[in-house]
Structure 1
Amino acid sequence: MEHVKNKDKDDDTITKEEAEIFLKKFARKFRKQPKISPRNYEILSRSSFLMLNNYFEYLIADLLSYYYNKFKNSLNEKEFKFTLKELNEYDTIEEATKDLIIKEVESLIIDKSFNDLLEHFEDKLSISLEKELIKWDEIIEIRERRHLIVHNSSIVNKKYISRTKNPYNYQIGDIVHIDKDYFFKSWSHFKLAGQLLIFNCWGGNWDKENIDNAVFQIMIQTFDDLNSKNYDLVCKTCKYSEQIEPKNEDQEDYILRIKVNNAISLKKQKKDGEVKKVLKKIKVGTATPLFKIAHNILSDKHDDLEELFTQAIVVDKLSIESYLEWPIFDFVREKDEINEVLIKTFEK
């Protein structure tokens, strides 16, 4: 009989059945705990929403700071006011320059509207806003709702309606709320916008020497979002990656994996027609067994999987842990007969 540790008994164990009884009792007690009150929920949801907005502001500030520290000459023509006393507080020119950059970033964040900041990235810093993928109008609404919560007791005013085109059909005087769906939608918009801005800044115009790492991170991000079932984010990030022309074998490998992640995401959403279109662009003739496995699974071809798994275990070091965890294998794990055959390949 299976046992688990019990530090309160001399024999140091309890049976599995006893553990299950204990957990059921605990669960019943947990369910009886008082639920959060509507008032406290409202406070918590608004606080989380404001924190989400703040994180996006921090990202914008970090990108601006990174740019001006990397391209200090871009501020050569900028006039800064200094008192002699302030100047004497610096030990070196470098120290003064860093402080000036901090002040410049702070002034941009404070003085410019959100729309102006976006224009600054696009016009002054030559960073694409990826408007076909990022719904900036919805992000602007999120930002304006944040302003209502912070500055107007969550009450809709004329400024909100004029700046957002009022997509939720509020009336002046209405109260805005942050429910679960709205918060998650806001998080998704900020996450996509933040990722693509980072990729454009880091692996694009500012740091072309880092493009290998940037493409690698795009691959990692699509896999993480796939595991989190954020399928729309996966598809949009993969769509973004289509503009990347691989320059070496590493980039080719990363792009191939991104395409596979895209196909998995589409298949999870039962968009079979789009899956076929993606698969036509994935050439696996000379690829390792693992890629051939993925292509076959996505094509609903299972006849050669046992042989390919045997090869992948040797060539790609495919492990039972990966088989049980990776999203690509969900499609065969749910088929009992196929799953049983594939599990046995790891036992040989």
Structure 2
Amino acid sequence: MGAGAEEFAIRVDMIIDGFIDRIEAARDIINLASPVIKAEDGPRSVVQKFLSQLTYLTDEELEQFFALFQKSGEKSEGNDLPWQLRLLNSVWEEFKGKPWTSKLATDLHTMLRRPSRIDFLLESTVVSAVTSFEVLFSSLIASFLKVSPQALEAMSREKEREFSLRDLKGLSSIEEAVDLAISRRVDELMFGSVAEWRKFCIDKLNIKFEDLCSDWPAVQEIFQRRHVLVHAGGVASHRYVASVASAGRSVDVKVGKKLNTSEIYVHQTLDAIMSFGILLASSIGMKFAKEHESTILSSLHKLTYTRLLAKQDELVKHLCTAGEKIAVGYDDQLLFKVNGWIALKRTDPKAVALEMKQWDTSALEDRYKLAKMCLASQNDEALGLMKKMHSAESLSSEDVLEWPLFEELRNMPDYVEWSKNISLPFGISSILGKEFYLNPRTKTLHTEDCRLLGSSIKVGSLADYDPGKYHLCSICDPFPKQRKSIERAGEQSAAASTGASGDSRGPKGHSPGKPPAID
């Protein structure tokens, strides 16, 4: 593909970035709004607001009403009604015969039947997550058809001619005709079901959705739930129950009953959809821009590492489980395995302990032996090997201070005392009017307030150096907007230095917890 492959790889990278931003925005909204809405919509808050509107009741009657509210929260044997109905029934019985009883009951019923705002937020987030995936998928297919004319030609339009006379009159070039044809193909595909999308990817791309998910039935359920939320208000339909059951997932709701979309479910949905989308885009990028597959995998490793730092362990487990299936070599598989194990250890230490009993690192490099020691909680041995590797410069100071693999070691007094003596030689550089610090050995740029800073040496401006040789600190993230351009410059520099292979990565260029360096 040549230049077309490079353009395709860049386009895929941009699609992934936009997708991640949308999913993370949805996650931020949930995290920010959920506590506020829960407090506002809690039974006590709702009733207190309601009481302030009951100006036609005396103080004594208001106290009686509040007592009924408190009692409605207490379930009694043989009474399984929701608290709202229990309160409504109690109010009617208590104030029967009063001139305002009917108005009170009506006002109370109006207040209680209002849909839960937290449910609305959570359900909307599920719909938004699936919509974000649809945007990603349609963009990927459009980009694929753009660089694969034979695939576009093979997708014949059986129901009608490609272009009408009116269409032809409105087209000024072949490029416009191709863009219109691609738009129509994508629209036709997107109007289909997930099963049809899956078939398209198998037939045209040789990619199976189930290979890109740690739990494909769970992802199928998300798409089915989105359909129910949009078209049936979240009430389980025959189609939903049958589809989920046929996918091999247990169904815990009956037809006609409201689906429970909890906050836990929503966060699981965001992790599953985000992982699925990223891995699908990465797989398509690697398949149709083969000379850039190492770059795409490197980006995937970097993403996994940053999510480890953010302690998004469920997302990391999704990415790593499926990431192993698209890895192009044993070293990449090990990177995904180790990152996945780090996340798993945080949530299920016993499961990791069993895995470590089976993992033979005798023929592997020291970094993997160190990883096994840490994951197996052999902390004294691990600290000894860490010191040895750091002294030999096969383990960077950034790794020692930052890598989540060493979380347990950082609680050891010996580690705390030893790490105090670690200092990093930095030079000072300038870009966009800001000052940055450079580690000459690792070629990593940091901000002035980064916690990894040691003593500094002035070495001139960034303009004196090849930007392709620099890495950016993942702790302080010196200039995120420039990150992509600098990394791409590094990739081009690496490609130029390695000739036709386009792969400068060797076994010693990897660290199990961090992406391969571009040298």
TM-score range, shorter chain: 0.7 to 0.9
Determine if the alignment matches structure 1 residue 340 to structure 2 residue 416.
yes
**Could you list the runs of 5+ residues in structure 1 that have no partner in the other structure?**
1-30
Aligned ranges for residues 253-332 of structure 1 at < 5 Å? 254-268=332-346, 269-270=348-349, 271-278=352-359, 280=361, 283-285=364-366, 293-299=370-376, 300-303=378-381, 305=383, 308-309=386-387, 312=390, 315=393, 318-319=396-397, 323-332=400-409
Cα distance in 1 for partners of 2:385, 2:255 equals 66
Q: Which of residues 275, 283, 291 in structure 2 aligns to 1:209?
A: 291
Task: Give secondary structure in 1 for the equivalent of 2:163.
Answer: coil
The 1:237–1:276 alpha-carbon spacing in structure 2 relative to 1, beyond 3 Å, is farther
Cα distance in 2 for partners of 1:32, 1:189 equals 26
TM-score normalised to structure 2 length: 0.52
Residue by residue over 1:114-161, the C-alpha shift from the partner in whole angstroms, topping out at 9 and shown as x without a partner, is: 112111111232112234844332222212221122111222222222
AA paired with 1:66?
Answer: S
Does structure 2 retain, via aligned residues, the 8 Å contact 1:259–1:282? no
Cα distance in 2 for partners of 1:33, 1:81 equals 51
Cα distance in 1 for partners of 2:272, 2:299 equals 19
Cα distance in 1 for partners of 2:420, 2:118 equals 49
Q: Which of residues 264, 284, 309 in structure 2 aligns to 1:181?
A: 264
Residue by residue over 1:284-314, the C-alpha shift from the partner in whole angstroms, topping out at 9 and shown as x without a partner, is: 15x6xxx665454345153573674475277
In structure 1, the partner of 2:197 is 117
Determine if the alignment matches structure 1 residue 95 to structure 2 residue 176.
yes
The 1:169–1:308 alpha-carbon spacing in structure 2 relative to 1, beyond 3 Å, is closer
AA paired with 1:345?
Answer: N
Cα distance in 1 for partners of 2:379, 2:39 equals 49
Task: Give secondary structure in 1 for the equivalent of 2:209.
Answer: coil
In structure 2, the partner of 1:167 is 250
- Structure with higher Rg: it is 2
Does structure 1 retain, via aligned residues, the 8 Å contact 2:136–2:277? yes
Deviates more, 1:325-334 or 1:274-283: 274-283
The total of aligned residue pairs comes to 305
Determine if the alignment matches structure 1 residue 226 to structure 2 residue 308.
yes
In structure 1, the partner of 2:164 is 83
AA paired with 1:343?
Answer: S
Residue by residue over 1:59-78, the C-alpha shift from the partner in whole angstroms, topping out at 9 and shown as x without a partner, is: 22122112211111222252
Does structure 1 retain, via aligned residues, the 8 Å contact 2:201–2:207? yes
In structure 2, the partner of 1:27 is none
Does structure 2 retain, via aligned residues, the 8 Å contact 1:231–1:266? yes
Q: Which of residues 138, 150, 156 in structure 2 aligns to 1:61?
A: 138
In structure 1, the partner of 2:60 is none
Deviates more, 1:165-174 or 1:112-121: 165-174
Over aligned residue pairs, what C-alpha RMSD do you find?
3.2
The 1:181–1:87 alpha-carbon spacing in structure 2 relative to 1, beyond 3 Å, is same
Does structure 2 retain, via aligned residues, the 8 Å contact 1:155–1:175? yes
Cα distance in 2 for partners of 1:97, 1:274 equals 52
AA paired with 1:37?
Answer: D
Identical-pair percentage = 22
In structure 2, the partner of 1:26 is none
Cα distance in 1 for partners of 2:221, 2:389 equals 52
The 1:52–1:282 alpha-carbon spacing in structure 2 relative to 1, beyond 3 Å, is farther
AA paired with 2:228?
Answer: L
Task: Give secondary structure in 2 for the equivalent of 1:302.
Answer: helix
In structure 2, the partner of 1:104 is 185
The 1:237–1:150 alpha-carbon spacing in structure 2 relative to 1, beyond 3 Å, is closer
Determine if the alignment matches structure 1 residue 37 to structure 2 residue 120.
no
AA paired with 1:171?
Answer: K
Cα distance in 2 for partners of 1:260, 1:177 equals 35
The 1:94–1:317 alpha-carbon spacing in structure 2 relative to 1, beyond 3 Å, is same
Does structure 1 retain, via aligned residues, the 8 Å contact 2:142–2:182? yes
Which of 1 and 2 has higher RCO (CA within 8 Å, sep 6+)? 2
The 1:160–1:267 alpha-carbon spacing in structure 2 relative to 1, beyond 3 Å, is closer
Task: Give secondary structure in 1 for the equivalent of 2:40.
Answer: coil
